[in-house]
Amino acid sequence: MALPKLKAAACHLAPVFLSAYKTTEKTISFIHYAAAKSAKLVVFPESSIPGFPYWSSILAPSQGHDFFKQIARQSVYVDGEEIGAIRRAASRLGVMVSLGISEKVRYSSATLFNSNLIIGDNGQILVHHRKLMPTFFEKLTWSPGDGYGLRVADTKHGKIGALICGENTNPLARYALMAQGEQVHISTWPAIWPTRLPKKGETGPAVGNYDNVKSNTTRAAAHCFEAKCFGIQCAGFLDEANIEGIAAMTEDPQQTRKILSSYPQALTQFLDPDGQVIDSHAFTLMGARRTAAWLDNEEGILLATLDLNKCVEGKQYHDVVGGYQRLDVFSLQINRRRLRPATFKDQDPDPPIPVEKQKDQKDLGLEASLQRALKVHD
């Protein structure tokens, strides 16, 4: 039996600055747009709701307290209203959604996780992954996750897995998904990655700064080549409104604007099982359509059709979890227990979060805003 073809949409999206509700509203509008283009999988960037903590890359920790309070306030519960609205939209439209969030938990007022959800076309959460280890300055915002979400969603459109940003550098995390037959790999990224501040007189990014554009593609392409799978490399977009929002909360807004504007924006693109970039169709918010290899300096949606039959031939040469592996020599064990601060003997296991079919008042507000937020163009 032939493998399916999957039409996927990668959303190069800027959040509404530190607003979970408004970014959810925007997210649903993008889901509608992609569904109208016949996409069956809609992918969003790392920490797309409510946004990525770029401030921690350019400010001293002692200057970040107000930012942390804001992102803690605007982070979302997996069983909360925002995710509920997105799940209902996915169910009504019959599309799968991969969504990066800053997740808060019921047992703490300040413990946050950098998480990614894969939501099925029936609205059910298929994979709930928390980033194993926050990278560099992310440790000022997020706690380490666990192995619970190292799972592949086995869907009628293919076997879909996801890792967040620097996790795509971790060969064991990647192998864990390969070993489950992954056919489509989602890698999510922030828009910029400052590791050095510009010195006086420097007009571009700081000399010696980490090259996120090159490095992201290298990692995503390597995984596709090793796993013989398709890749969806989905990055956020840092727009002027977000730069201004961050700048307004700092002591030197002009310098903050200058610094944040100097770094190159990461790419959103599709990769084939050889790790090569796929030409795709790009749709911008102004309705323009063009053939493009990637999106970087403008907000929009990239669409491509992935023929999973192309995942087969390369495995005849190098199937690193099968015919090209020595299972008698190497062994990998993965702990997929969800970690909790305490175990209470009278506590029932977590039940699945139901998808409510009816529209509540908030959903009605979201639906009514779709025409204002994003028009669907041919």
Beta carbons of 15 and 49 less than 8 angstroms apart: yes
d(CA 19, CA 72): 11
Report the candidate in 215, 229, 303, 269 with the shortest Cα–Cα distance to residue 39.
303
> Cα(188)–Cα(213) distance, rounded to whole angstroms?
13
Q: Which run of H or of E encompasses 220?
A: helix 212-227
Distance CA 37, CA 51 (A): 26
Give the domains, in start order, of the chain with CATH numbers.
5-317 (3.60.110.10)
Establish how many alpha carbons lie within 13 A of residue 325's alpha carbon, considering only the half-sphere containing its beta carbon: 15
The mean predicted confidence, pLDDT, of the chain is 93
> Which pTM was predicted?
0.93
Among the ranges given (33-42, 168-177, 298-307, 342-351), the one the predictor scored with the smallest mean pLDDT: 342-351
Q: Each residue of 312-360: pLDDT tens digit?
A: 999 999 999 999 999 999 999 999 999 999 988 887 666 777 776 545 4
Say how many residues make up the chain. Answer: 378
Higher pLDDT, 204 or 142: 142
The C-alpha atoms of residue 266 and residue 223 are separated, in whole angstroms, by: 18
Yes or no: say if 260 and 246 are a contact pair by the CB < 8 Å rule: yes
pLDDT of residue 359: 54
In angstroms, the CA 207 to CA 319 distance is 40
pLDDT value, residue 230: 98
